[in-house]
Amino acid sequence: QSALTQPASVSGSPGQSITISCTGTSSDVGGYNYVSWYQQHPGKAPKLMIYDVSNRPSGVSNRFSGSKSGNTASLTISGLQAEDEADYYCSSYTSSYTRVFGGGTKLTVL
Amino acid sequence: EVQLVESGGGLVKPGGSLRLSCAASGFTFSSYSMNWVRQAPGKGLEWVSSISSSSTYMYYADSVKGRFTISRDNAKNSLYLQMNSLRAEDTAVYYCARDRGQLIRDAFDIWGQGTMVTVSS
For residue B109, name the pLDDT band (cuts at 50, 70, 90): very high
> Distance from B111 to chain A by nearest Cα, in Å?
7
Q: Check if the beta carbon of residue B20 is closer than 8 Å to that of residue B117.
A: yes
Q: CA angle, A39 as apex, B50 and A23 as ends, to 5°?
A: 70
Q: Which residue of A has its CA nearest to B4?
A: A45
Query: Could you tell me how far CA B97 lies from the centroid of its own chain?
Result: 7
Q: How far apart are CA A86 and CA A84, in angstroms?
A: 6
What number of C-beta contacts closer than 8 Å exist between A and B?
A: 68
Task: List the single best residue of B3, B105, B106, B109 to mutate versus A (max A Cβ within 10 A).
Answer: B105
Q: Please list the helix, strand and coil fractions of chain B in percent, rounded to the nearest 5, in that order.
A: 5, 50, 45
Q: Tell me which residue in A45, A52, A99 faces B47 most closely, judged by beta carbons.
A: A99
pLDDT band at residue A19 using 50, 70 and 90 as cut-offs: very high
Q: Measure the CA–CA gap between A52 and B27, rounded to whole angstroms.
A: 22
B81-105 confidence digits (pLDDT tens): 999 999 999 999 999 999 997 788 8
Q: What is the DSSP letter of B55?
A: S
Q: Chain B contacts of A48, Cβ < 8 Å?
A: 107-109
B38-92 pLDDT tens trace? 999 999 999 999 999 999 999 999 999 999 999 999 999 999 999 999 999 999 9
Q: Mark yes or no for CB contact A98/B50 under 8 Å.
A: yes
**Stretch A9-15: mean pLDDT, rounded?**
97
**What's the Cα-to-Cα distance from B73 to each of A4, B3, B4, B26, rounded to whole Å?**
32, 16, 14, 16
* 3-state secondary structure labels for all residues of chain A: CCCEECCCEEEECCCCCEEEEEECCCCCHHHCCCEEEEEECCCCCCEEEEECCCECCCCCCCCEEEEEECCEEEEEECCCCHHHCEEEEEEEECCCCCEEEECCEEEEEC
Task: Check B47 against A38: CB less than 8 A apart.
Answer: no
Whether residues B47 and A98 touch (CB distance < 8 A) is answered with yes
Residue-wise pLDDT tens digits, A70-80: 999 999 999 99
Strand, helix or coil at B31?
Answer: helix
Q: A38 and B108 in contact by Cβ < 8 A?
A: yes
Chain centre to alpha carbon of residue A42: 17
Contact B47 A57 (CB under 8 A): no
pLDDT tens for residues B25-39? Answer: 999 999 999 999 999
Asked if pLDDT for residue A49 goes beyond 80, the answer is yes
**Position A1 pLDDT exceeds 80:** no
